[in-house]
């Protein structure tokens, strides 16, 4: 027997199904149960708003809320038949009509029954539920991302002077520090957190417009009910319904995709630094690989949701429906990636000795540009470049450090002597600890911004 639940089939009642251990790490936030709870919360909030507006008798809101969410909010999804709701979706194009009927049956009082779904269209409930889902997903992601950013900050501070090879185009470049690498992670993580918090605080709004965005069935009370519904659910009260203005969905999706992109960067760096041949960090391979598995799905999902934002007139024909699954998946994958990142950076081991050994094994080649700059004023830029290029080639071919090639080859040593450049100056130019530029300044800036955030 297979019961569809959430993003993937659930076999034998296992949350998230066969792949749930990877893609619902940190908890399921957008599966069938989460959607059901959010839709019922929207229906319950509407009933309370209608009561506050004087459109239904006293007690109707409480009756609907208890029937929807259980006593004291003890929600139990088993009280509603998901198979029945799925069938109703096939018949009506979405699960809300079936849910409204099931909720009406569950409400005990006649007054409460009259308050169920009054004035609303299915999209009002689904879109409002989508905003509630986003809030829960953002809160879950932020909790983990805060821990991830704090871990990155600790790494940046601890390893501010830990020398390592910098790499550009996957090739060795000038030296850097692992502290600056971690500070780069930190800056991205803090930016992702900032955007998520901004979307949560400013872009999550109630949806309530009725069949064509006019709330005509509620007469003059429509705008007041909309405002009261926003209060009941803790969502923003938009100026008007946004049935076919989908930038709120796009904004949520973009914030999630940005978060996945930042986490993907961290995970990819770790996988490269942890390669057997590099060995500069150690970590279980599972978290980094799982983050990449989650994050690589985000761009396609965002593209689908952006494409679906073109919606016709007052209510869309299909584009709205196209949002549900990619939106759910993007929320879930972002939460999962964030939870995996907490595991990754929280347990990351840095091998400073291996970093030093890899830097030393380069034989000074990463500092060739500094030697060129040293020789340039005396020899001229082109001649200095050519001399260092020859020396670097000899060092690479022979395995002899660049310092020794520069000081031992007669024709090179003569030119250095003629230019008044001493062996001490050459050795200083090849000292990676003295060629870090303003790395420490950048690390301090990232840490300060993190603390202020």
315 is catalytic: yes
- Catalytic residue, chosen from 52, 268, 315, 394, is 315
- 112/177 Cα distance (integer angstroms): 65
Q: 32-52 and 222-233 are packed helices; what angle lies between their axes, rounded to 10 degrees? A: 130
- Catalytic residue, chosen from 264, 283, 338, 439, is 283
Helix/strand/coil (H/E/C) assignment for every residue in the chain = CEEEECCEEEECCCCCHHHHHHHCCCCCCCCHHHHHHHHHHHHHHHHHHHHHCCCCCCCHHHHHHHHHHCHHHCCCHHHCCHHHHHHHHHHHCCCHHHHHHHHHHHCCCHHHHHHCCCCCCHHHHHHHHHHHHHHHHHHHHHHHHHHHHHHHHHHHHHCCCCEEEEEECCEEEEEEEHHHHHHHHHHHHHHHHHHHHHHHHHCCECCCCCCCCCCHHHHHHHHHHHHHHHHHHCCECCCCCCCCCCHHHHHHHHHHHHHHHHHHHHHHHHHHHCCCCCCCEECCHHHHHHHHHHHCCHHHHHHHHHHCCCCCCCCCCCHHHHHHHHHHHHHHHHHHHHHHHHHHHHCCEECHHHHHHHHHHCCCHHHHHHHHHHHHHHHCHHHHHHHHHHHHHHHHHHCCCHHHHHHHCHHHHHHHHHCCCCHHHHHHHCCHHHCCCCHHHHHHHHHHHHHHC
Q: What's the token pair of residue 451?
A: 């603390």
88 is catalytic: no
Q: What's the token pair of residue 58?
A: 């006293």
The catalytic residues are 283, 315
């Amino acid at each position: 027997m297979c019961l569809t639940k959430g993003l993937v089939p659930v076999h034998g009642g296992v949350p998230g199904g066969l792949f749930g251990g990877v893609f619902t790490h940190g908890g399921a936030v957008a599966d069938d149960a989460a959607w059901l709870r959010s839709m019922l919360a929207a229906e319950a909030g509407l009933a309370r708003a209608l009561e506050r507006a004087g459109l239904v008798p006293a007690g109707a809101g409480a009756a609907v809320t208890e029937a929807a969410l259980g006593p004291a909010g003890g929600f139990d999804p088993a009280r509603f038949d998901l198979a029945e709701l799925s069938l109703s979706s096939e018949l009506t194009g979405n699960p809300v009509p079936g849910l409204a009927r099931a909720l009406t049956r569950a409400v005990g009082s006649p007054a409460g029954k009259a308050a169920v779904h009054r004035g609303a269209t299915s999209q009002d409930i689904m879109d409002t539920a989508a905003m509630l889902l986003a809030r829960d997903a953002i809160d879950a992601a932020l909790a983990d991302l805060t821990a991830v950013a704090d871990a990155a900050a600790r790494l940046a501070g601890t390893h501010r002077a830990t020398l390592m090879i910098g790499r550009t185009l996957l090739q060795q470049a000038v030296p850097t520090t692992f502290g600056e690498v971690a500070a780069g992670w930190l800056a991205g993580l803090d930016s992702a957190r900032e955007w998520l918090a901004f979307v949560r605080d400013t872009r999550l709004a109630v949806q309530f417009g009725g069949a064509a965005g006019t709330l005509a069935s509620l007469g003059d009370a429509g705008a007041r009910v909309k405002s009261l519904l926003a209060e009941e659910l803790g969502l923003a009260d938009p100026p008007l319904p946004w049935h076919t203005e989908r930038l709120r969905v796009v904004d949520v999706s973009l914030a999630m995709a940005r978060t996945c992109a930042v986490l993907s960067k961290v995970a990819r760096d770790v996988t490269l630094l942890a390669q057997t041949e590099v060995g500069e960090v150690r970590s279980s391979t599972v978290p980094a690989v799982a983050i990449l598995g989650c994050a690589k799905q985000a761009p396609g999902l965002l593209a689908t949701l952006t494409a679906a934002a073109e919606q016709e007139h007052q209510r869309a024909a299909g584009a709205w429906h196209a949002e549900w699954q990619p939106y759910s998946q993007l929320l879930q994958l972002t939460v999962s990636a964030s939870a995996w990142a907490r595991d990754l950076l929280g347990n990351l081991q840095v091998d400073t000795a291996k970093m030093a050994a890899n830097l030393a094994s380069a034989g000074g080649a990463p500092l060739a540009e500094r030697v060129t700059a040293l020789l340039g004023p005396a020899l001229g830029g082109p001649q200095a470049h050519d001399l260092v290029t020859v020396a670097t080639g000899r060092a690479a071919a022979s395995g002899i450090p660049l310092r020794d090639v520069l000081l031992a080859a007669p024709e090179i040593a003569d030119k250095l002597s003629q230019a008044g450049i001493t062996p001490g100056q050459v050795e200083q130019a090849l000292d990676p600890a003295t060629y870090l530029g303003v790395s420490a300044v950048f690390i301090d800036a990232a840490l300060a911004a993190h603390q202020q955030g």
